[in-house]
Structure formats: C-alpha cells, structure tokens
Amino acid sequence: MNVAGSTPTGTVHDVQVSHDQGDAGDRLDLLVARHCGVSRTQAATLIATGQVTVNGAVEKASYRGVAGDRLHVVIPPPPGRDIVPEQIPLDIVYEDDYLLVVNKAAGMVVHPAPGNWTGTLVNALIGRGEPLADSGSEERAGLVHRLDKDTSGLLIVAKTDAAHRSLSAALAARRVTRRYVALCWGHLATDRMTVEKPIGRDPRDRTKMTIVADGRPSRTDFVRLGRFDSADLLRAHLHSGRTHQIRVHLSSIGHPVVGDDSYGGGGGRRLVELPGKRHFLHAAWLRFRHPVTGVPVDLRSPLPDDLRHSLSVVSHMPELATHPDPLDVFGFYHTDEVLPGHQPDQHDDALD
C-alpha cells in the first residue's frame, strides 16, 4: 500500500510493506525506489539524509523489509529552474487570442522535467513570445492536457487563465472529443470492444502503468477500422483520462500498440517498416466548443509520414503512402456522435 500526498516541504509517501506485492525481504533502498517513483540512487540519498523512516526509526539502506513495516518517505521538491525559451518550429493548426492547438511531432517531450529541461513543447511555446495561461507552474505553462513523448497529434494550449479554466473544466466533464488512431498487433475478437480495467502505477517499475486491483477506474472503447495480416487498425475512444491508457488497455488484452517498447509491442517493427523509438499511436481528431465564443472547433491531423508509410506496408495498399489522409479511406471520421456540449456522457477526457 502506498499513500502519497504533498506538503510545502515536498511529496510524502506512506508505504506499508506487504507479502502480496513481494516486498518482504527486499532492501530499504529498493523498496523506496519501487514505491516512490525514484531511482535506487535517489532512494539511497533520501535514506542517508534522514528523509526515510521505518516504523518511526531511521534505518540504513541495507535494512530488509518485514511484512507490516511502515515506511514514511519525504521527497523534497526539486530546486527551481528557469525554463529557457527556444526557437523550435511548431506546427500550429489553430490559433486565436485565447488558445492554440499544436500538432505535436513524435519524439518531442511536452514539458520540462529532470532529464528533459530543454527541447520540449513548453520551451518552444515560451520561445514564441506569446502569452500563455498560468497552469500552476512555468514548466506546464498553458498546457490543458498532454501527449506522451512518442505519441504524435493534436494538443490544446491556453493563452489566458480564463480559457485554461474553461477548457480544463470541459475536459473534466468529457465535453472535449479526442480520438486516437492505433495499430495493434494481432486481431481483436470483435470489431467493437470495450476494455474496462483499473489502471495504476506498476509497483515494479514506477515509470510505467499497469492493471492493478486498486487502480483508478478506466474504460476504453475500440472500433476496428481495418484488419490486416498481422495487425488491426483501431479508433480509440476513452471514457477516462489515465496515463498511457490506450497502450495499457491494449497490452492487457494481448494486443499491444505496434512499436510500443514499454508495453510489449516493440518487436517486429521491420514487418511494418516503423522507425525505431516510435509507436503507432496518433491523436488524430479533436472537437470542442471555443471557451469564449462557444463556436464549434473541429480539427483533424492526418497521419504523419512515418505512420502513413507503415500503414501502406501493413495494409498492402501502397497508394496510402501518398494519400492526403489515409484515415478517410478507413472511415475514421465517420461517427454518429454529436458535437460536445449537449451529451457529455458520450465524450472523453483522456491522456495517451
């Protein structure tokens, strides 16, 4: 069990050592790393500086956990760091005085964090010199939602605080429609499938998510648009907003996203001619009502060149490599859903 919270002095984790999670007998530094999302070196530093107690007492990193032990871990906040404006070209597909929508390229990290202080979308946005909403920290300036580093597609950025509040509320109420296209290995049992499984942090690797009994409720609807020799082309509709939700849900049913190294789909790239460090997941369709005018905004992002080429290979349809938007060929945009605003239960708020 891991209960986390925040205080002015940092993030606090209260962890109980459990036989069920295989914790008993493990070293203290390993337990802290596993449950608190830090490296083992960082865990050892926290222990050495007195930020970790076991049943109220300070122990060494070599201490072996016993079932029932209660660990109290305080992770101090990282020191402040100025975000450097950078002149990085961005594909802006929509912009006005209140918001903009970026067509993010695969490989770009969305916001600065340890290990990625430069070259991110936020660095590029600040480098444009335009005003951005206060999202709670300079590292997340203007961001309404996020996309994973290797997921491409449409992402909303707010320029004013009022627009940010309105768009964030719309996301929370599932009044923003975001549709992803994914290629998964193998074939779903039916043309339409719903995966409803709780998602939480992987206790063995805190950088990943997994299906856990005490995770947050998560539901994804999948529609098969194309069935090929080795893979299915899917449209994904999320009813919840969990990190890596599409990738985790597809992996959990034995059909991971093609190219997804983290969740079991990384092998076989050569079969579909997909570049390294790239998975076939793209935020292709975005619909919402403008936070100020209420006017419907409907934006589409055709498949990037690398995914378009891969789709032409796996489908044995070479003409798709030069098609303006192969998703049209497979009916990706054909749906009976109404524009968000009147039936929020039909619309999603989700991360990749």
Per-residue pLDDT at 11 exceeds 80: yes
Q: Is 161 helix (H, G, I), strand (E, B) or coil?
A: helix
Range with the poorest average pLDDT among 39-43, 54-58, 285-289: 39-43
First to last CA, the chain: 26
Nearest to 217 by CA among 236, 235, 200: 200
Q: Are 195 and 166 in contact (CB under 8 A)?
A: no
C-alpha to C-alpha distance for 313 and 274, rounded to whole angstroms? 9
**How confident is residue 135, by pLDDT bands cut at 50, 70 and 90?**
confident
Q: Tell me how far the alpha carbon of residue 258 is from its chain's centroid.
A: 16
C-alpha to C-alpha distance for 163 and 336, rounded to whole angstroms? 28
Range with the poorest average pLDDT among 25-29, 77-81, 316-320: 77-81
**Angle at which helices 28-36 and 40-48 cross, to 10°:** 120
- Residue pointed to by tokens 């905004």: 297
Give 268-277 pLDDT, tens digit per residue. 989 999 998 8
Q: CA separation (Å) from 271 to 83, 187, 225? A: 41, 16, 20
Per-residue pLDDT at 338 exceeds 50: no
Angle (CA) 293-296-297 rounded to 5° is: 105
Q: Give the mean pLDDT of 125-136.
A: 89
Per-residue pLDDT at 344 exceeds 50: no
Q: Give the mean pLDDT of 95-111.
A: 96
Q: Are 301 and 93 in contact (CB under 8 A)?
A: yes
Catalytic residue selected from 29, 148, 260, 352? 148
Structure tokens at 181: 């296209």
Q: Give the mean pLDDT of 37-49.
A: 90
Q: Higher pLDDT residue, 83 or 309?
A: 309
C-alpha to C-alpha distance for 66 and 69, rounded to whole angstroms? 6
Q: Is 129 helix (H, G, I), strand (E, B) or coil?
A: coil
Q: Where are the beta strands (DSSP E) in 99-241?
A: 99-104, 152-158, 177-185, 192-196, 199-202, 205-211, 219-227, 231-238
Q: Give the mean pLDDT of 118-142.
A: 88
> Would you tell me how many other CB atoms lie within 10 Å of the CB of residue 164?
25
Q: Give the mean pLDDT of 238-259.
A: 94
Structure tokens at 188: 């779903």
Residue 10 confidence (pLDDT):
67
**Stated pTM of the model:** 0.76
> In terms of CATH, what superfamily is 2-75?
RNA-binding S4 domain (3.10.290.10)
C-alpha to C-alpha distance for 149 and 155, rounded to whole angstroms? 12
Per-residue pLDDT at 189 exceeds 70: yes
Q: Are 301 and 173 in contact (CB under 8 A)?
A: no
**How confident is residue 82, by pLDDT bands cut at 50, 70 and 90?**
confident
Q: Give the mean pLDDT of 232-245.
A: 90
Q: Give the mean pLDDT of 122-133.
A: 94
Q: Which CATH number fits domain 92-172: 1.10.40.30, 3.40.50.300, 3.30.2350.10, 3.30.9.10?
A: 3.30.2350.10
Q: Is 167 helix (H, G, I), strand (E, B) or coil?
A: helix
* Residue 91 is among the residues annotated as catalytic for this protein: no
Total number of residues shown for the chain: 352
Per-residue pLDDT at 343 exceeds 70: no
C-alpha to C-alpha distance for 113 and 90, rounded to whole angstroms? 20
Structure tokens at 216: 């947050």
Q: How high does pLDDT run on average in the chain? A: 89
**How confident is residue 223, by pLDDT bands cut at 50, 70 and 90?**
very high
Structure tokens at 261: 């190294």
Do 177-346 and 92-172 have the same topology in CATH?
Answer: yes
Report which DSSP code applies to 318: G
Per-residue pLDDT at 19 exceeds 80: no
C-alpha to C-alpha distance for 106 and 276, rounded to whole angstroms? 11
Q: What pairs with residue 177 in β-bridges?
A: 287
**How confident is residue 140, by pLDDT bands cut at 50, 70 and 90?**
confident
Q: Higher pLDDT residue, 232 or 39?
A: 232
Domain ranges of the chain: 2-75, 92-172, 177-346
Nearest to 308 by CA among 222, 177, 183: 183
Q: Is 136 helix (H, G, I), strand (E, B) or coil?
A: coil
Cβ neighbours for 110, distance < 8 A, ≥ 6 positions apart: 104, 120, 121, 122, 143, 146, 147, 149, 155
Q: What percent of the chain has pLDDT over 90?
A: 69
**Can you name the CATH fold of 177-346?**
Pseudouridine synthase (3.30.2350)
Residue 24 confidence (pLDDT):
85
